[in-house]
Structure 1
Amino acid sequence: MNAPAFLDNAVNAAALFDLPRPAAQCRIVVAMSGGVDSSVVAALAAASGAEVIGITLQLYDYGAATGRKGACCAGDDIQDARMVADRLGIAHYVFDHETAFREEVVETFADEYLAGRTPIPCIRCNMGPKFTDLLRMARELGADCLATGHYVRRVEAEGGAQLHRALDPARDQSYFLYATTDAQMDFLRFPLGGLPKQEVRRIAEEFGLTVAAKPDSQDICFVPDGDYARIVKAMRPEAGRPGNIVHAQSGEVLGQHPGIIHFTVGQRRGLEIGGQAEPLYVVNLDPESAEVRVGPKRMLAVSAAQIVETNRIGPMPVGQLTAKVRSLSKPVPVTLEGSLGEGASCTIRFENPEFGVAPGQAAVIYHGERVVGGGWIAATTAA
């Protein structure tokens, strides 16, 4: 099919994929979730003149997801990916990855909540099914690269490809990709990292893609109604064990709760313990005693966090580092104590006290716009 007019005078589609040879001699595999972002990537790949193969991983129950809006890799989304592939005239394959996804992502999600931590399944998914299994499939298909619809940028630099934040800060997904390895970075391509979302939707319209106005996928794709606690209790019935809400300073029992899986460090809403002299927040979760411990906001302040299972992308930079300890937080200045990468543990020390740092979340380290790496938050030190 013909490319939209903007490619003739504004964008060279082949350049978006940094191909090693003329596009006509290359094969691009595109991870197609059924959403507008990955669909536009497939369209741009097809416009480059390369041979394009779309792959969709069915990650969870098809029947439970049929008819859902804003999902990913299941139900109607698979059909949407197939329709886009037909429209573009490219090959499209669906692989059943439900068992692996359940074992690597969903089971871990449930176990983390059971242990009083706050998990991020999107990072686990990128570490496993998306960037490990999909990449292997792409290599087996003889591809020159694997392209995805993530909003990040791949920047070639001395020492290898680097991962940078997207130009549009509202769409940046670099926090979720800190565990990408150097070998994966060599093979991955992120052609949307320099585009705002509205431009991506406009491109989809110019290509005539039916998903142009499709809602964005939700953060936890395998939770049909947003009730993650119900999913956890279905897999781990013991997660619904009730317990006491206890004041972390006085030890006074202030109320009861239906299970620690309903809470996370820094949470204020949902405690239902009115009548206190000052607002109280969740400052600690004890899975053994099933206690939710609460205290004033000042008790949330931490001076440092230990991170484990760390990864580093490229060489260690010199200069000021920053860290994000939640996906929606702003990077804050930190110093690093210990080695980052190769699964090592290290400590990040905050320049100023940081609030609401939750075990189970990721701490992602930046040097300017570049993602240096990161790890899982295992413990914190009170300020």
Structure 2
Amino acid sequence: MRFRIKPLSEQVIVITGASSGIGLATARMAARRGAAVVLAARNRDAIEQAAREIRHHGGSALAVRCDVAEEDQVRDVAEAARNAFGGFDTWVNNAGVSIFGKIMDVPVDEMRKLFETNFWGVVNGSMVAVDHLGRRGGVLINMGSVLSERAVPIQGVYSASKFAVRAFTDALRMELEHDRLPVAVTLVKPSSIDTPFREHATNHADGIPNLPPPVYAPETVARAVLHAAEHPRRDITVGFGGKMIDWMGAAFPRMTDRLMERRAVWDQQINGNFETAERPDGLWEHGEGLRERGDAPRMVMEHSVFTQARLHPMMTGLLAVGAGAAAAFALRRPDRGADRIEEDRSRDVDTSWDKRRAAVGRTAYAP
């Protein structure tokens, strides 16, 4: 399944859920790096304004309104990309919504609606993308979550949808590799990200939705997505906090259950420490667009050293070797200093002994 993957500056990239958050950050970053971008989302005004902004700065962008739950609308996005740019090279299934609340408090019709976007939206996008890329080669990137590996309370329905996305993506990848089709498939799994995610979520909890720390900037995910567009990986976890949850859940599942059941974990997701204005329910209608960041006061990590190390292992290895050499050199210098001090002490002792012996000699033999 060897095929040439174009440099980002030569690619056409389709991004769903591009009106805000990770999708918007990825579209803007891709355009700055020379890619032509097709922005797809329910919020027509937001993506059209974002496309105008990109073109104003010299980039190439096309906005196509799309509800990813509707297969026909997803196919319209692919057709628009073919008409405008002759096709596309990378397709990013990013659109998603969430529900906060205990599973028993969430109506089943809302669960189904969430799966229409989070799961069936990925299915629709993947089918359309593979139909096109299977003939010319390219990259399919699906947006999972660290909750694709470990479910959490309060976001149980969202976790279930992301588990389904991971299973679908893994199975699709194996089938494409078996059939030797020239499509690379990557699953990106972000940790908590500072986007309008919680503002757009449906809330059945007794409090204000929040994201457990550490919280990372949307650009950390955008960089991972664009890296995968040029250097496909099986999966990429963004943020060490999420990777820790993954490791703990795999190694100590019951202990992790107990930790998740503690009140502190629930309070991290639901609290009343800040005020929010009334917003549209993103489950049923599009949310506020053109905002990459959320509005909650929180500390945000602008970079993930863990993710960068995983994406660039050779550079990280060279830096580690350089750091080790510098540390070894630094540790050697005090040793030489200590040797000199010891030599000085020995010299002082010898000198003092010679002086005392001379003094004794003068006293014993003085005329």
Task: For CA contacts below 8 A with separation 6 or more, give which structure has more relative contact order.
Answer: 2
Same-fold call, TM > 0.5? Answer: no
Which protein is richer in helix relative to its size?
2
Please give the TM-score of this superposition, normalised by the length of structure 2: 0.33
Greater radius of gyration (CA): 2
Which protein is richer in strand relative to its size?
1
